[in-house]
Structure 1
Amino acid sequence: MVSEMVIFSIITYSGDARSSSMEAITYAKNGDFDKARECIEEASKKLELAHREQTKLIQAEAQGEKHDISLLLIHAQDHLMNAMTVRDLADEFINIYMKISNK
């Protein structure tokens, strides 16, 4: 059985990363590109932490430890994938806003 602590860690870190990414877009929209980049860095750090938790599960399974797939685990994976996508898109938004403002 997968530890709920690992699952909730993935959800929490991913949620924090998504929030930082959305905040980055807002900063970029308002022309504060330094703050936007700081938010992207924070999002990346949180995603790294979430990915470490996910890697623990993958490594355990690769070593033969079988896990029940729960709806909560699927939810955590969904959060992680969406947070990664939002971070990548936020980075693109920042670049676009910078180009528009000639910075």
Structure 2
Amino acid sequence: MDEDENLQAIMGLIVNGGNAKSSAMEAIMAAKTGDFAGADAKLKEADVALSEAHNSQTGMLTKEASGDHVKVTLLMVHSQDHLMNAITFRDLAGEIVDLYKKLANKA
């Protein structure tokens, strides 16, 4: 993997991870106001962004597994951190949206 390809993959992780986290936060805010359709739509947006980030990561892993080793940089570590935080945040957002839905049904 050349340096330019590597940088594109890293930026794919950062941008898509950030987009996923933002969409997940927007889902929580929508659910908080009772907009459950909007919350579900935002969770789906987060899932799409995570899928795109995962594709970038899979490309990097595939190249590494095939023997095309890449130097690990602080930027690469940072991108992986963004992705893992986004995944965790998305999972938690789904649970919070579900809680708001249950609370709304009891009111």
TM-score, normalised via structure 2 length: 0.93
Give distance in 2, aligned partners of 1:99 and 1:6.
39
Give distance in 1, aligned partners of 2:66 and 2:29.
43
Residue 71 of structure 2 aligns with which residue?
68
Spell out the pairing of 1:1-103 with structure 2 (5 A cutoff).
2=3, 3-102=6-105
- 2:69 aligned counterpart, secondary structure: coil
Structure 2 alignment gaps of length 5 or more: none
Runs (4+) of structure 1 moved beyond 4 Å? none
Give distance in 2, aligned partners of 1:89 and 1:54.
22
Structure 1 alignment gaps of length 5 or more: none
In the alignment of these two chains, the number of paired residues is 103
TM-score, normalised via structure 1 length: 0.96
What percentage of aligned pairs have identical amino acids? Answer: 45
